[in-house]
A and B are shown apart, each in its own frame.
Chain A
Amino acid sequence: MSSVAEAEVAGGAYLPRHQPAGRADAVPLPAAEPAPAPAPARWRRPRRRPSDQPGDGGSGAAPHPSVAARALVALSVGLVGFLVAAQLGSTHRGTEHLALESESDLTRIFSSLNEESAALRDEISQLRLELAALQSSAERDQLARDAAERQLADLQILAGVVPARGPGVAVHIADPKGSFEFQLLLDLVQELRDAGAEAIAVNGRRVGGTTAFSHGRDGVTVDGQAVTQPYEVLAIGDPSTLEVGLKIPGGAVDTLDALDGTKVSVERRSDVRVPALDHPPTFKAAHPLE
């Protein structure tokens, strides 16, 4: 395509020197007679009816030379089609057309390509910055989410709405004579919290932030549910600290031991499990400020 176009332009540029007709379209008509005599002559030279000549074909051994010759012609013309298509495909694909550009055009193309590449490079760095900003903000979001999740887990344990497990102590109180009272249980829980207990349960009932102790007909109640002896108080926390806190002289264990007929034991455990609250607290009056 480009080669033919170049030939056209070149022909228009060359021929007017000896042909006054400036238009490329008009060039071939007058030029046909004088200048390239051999070309048309070659096509005219052969016999009038080549197909009648038996020995005309290239391959003499063929029984029907005209068939072989026609096949050859067809092959040649097919080759033209093949080559044209191949060349068109290759010039469209490559940068061959640049070879036909003039120097000033090439300079222009080059500078425009330079500008384009600079603009694209700018865009790359801008997008990199954007990416970094988004990544850091995503990291911040992730950190905030992790912190929020940790806080949620802590608050859930503190509120008692989820079961919890961990090292801790188990306090067993045998009270066959019924001298144990809820104030003592309150003192015991308070003592455990003071010693750093993170989750507490009394006879399988979780002690949450809204848990209340009272006394009912049969003795002590926790959140309105009666608990009976022997009492078992489970606490999750550092076992040694909890034990030391309970056994302070004049502390909870001493007080309980002094009661009539009670027997208290404190046992360290590596794995204490406390259940969740039966009824998680619902808040109707209090709302968070802000």
Chain B
Amino acid sequence: MLALFSLLAGAALALVLRPSVSPDQSRYLAMAVVAAIDSSFGGLRAHLEQTFSDRLFVLAFVSNAAVAVLLVWIGDQLSADLATAVAVVFGVRIFQNVAAVRRHVFGG
């Protein structure tokens, strides 16, 4: 409940502040957002499986986002499209986590 509230609060804050993201940074931010969404679903899944750990959640949250941004940055330096790789990895993980959550919620 607190998490949901703070999610909405963060979104509302961004809508109010309207932070300007330059197109260059937007690429990195997008990957960080995907990683953060993955971490959020992972946390939700862990919560439903009653294995939720605050420390691990925060650590995974920060490190996932950092690694995602770092990978994209390295990819840019090497002119390799690692952004797609990051997006694929986190996309797959989001699918898995959502599927796990779904199984928990609807059974099966």
**A42 touching B56, Cβ below 8 Å:** yes
**B51 touching A10, Cβ below 8 Å:** no
**A39 touching B57, Cβ below 8 Å:** no
Distance A87 CA – B26 CA, assembled complex (angstroms): 7
Distance A106 CA – B77 CA, assembled complex (angstroms): 25
Q: What is the interface residue range for chain A against chain B?
A: 35 or more
Does B29 have its Cβ within 8 Å of any Cβ on chain A?
yes
Interface size on B, residues (CB 8 A): 62
User: Interface readout for A4-40 with B: 1 if CB under 8 Å, 0 if not?
Assistant: 1011101100110000000010011101100110011
Residue of A28, A51, A81, A95 near B23 (CB, 8 A) is A95
Does A123 have its Cβ within 8 Å of any Cβ on chain B?
no
Q: Which residues of A have CB within 8 Å of B20?
A: 90
**B23 touching A70, Cβ below 8 Å:** no
Main secondary structure of the interface of A (DSSP, over half): helix
**B37 touching A4, Cβ below 8 Å:** yes
**B91 touching A81, Cβ below 8 Å:** no
**B23 touching A83, Cβ below 8 Å:** no
**B7 touching A7, Cβ below 8 Å:** no
The residue in chain A whose Cβ has the minimal distance to the Cβ of B93 is A39
Distance A95 CA – B10 CA, assembled complex (angstroms): 25
The stretch of A72-80, A170-178, A184-192, A229-237 in contact with B is A72-80
Given contacts A31-B96, A85-B11, A7 and B87 within 8 Å (CB-CB): yes
User: Interface readout for B80-103 with A: 1 if CB under 8 Å, 0 if not?
Assistant: 000010011011111111111000
Distance A261 CA – B26 CA, assembled complex (angstroms): 111
Given contacts A73-B57, A74-B3, A78-B9, A83 and B32 within 8 Å (CB-CB): yes
CB-based closest 10 A-B pairs = A7-B91, A81-B10, A69-B54, A85-B14, A78-B10, A46-B53, A90-B21, A28-B95, A78-B6, A82-B10
Known contacts A43-B46, A85-B15; 11 additional CB pairs below 8 A are A46-B55, A57-B55, A66-B54, A73-B54, A81-B6, A81-B7, A82-B13, A84-B37, A86-B14, A94-B23, A94-B26
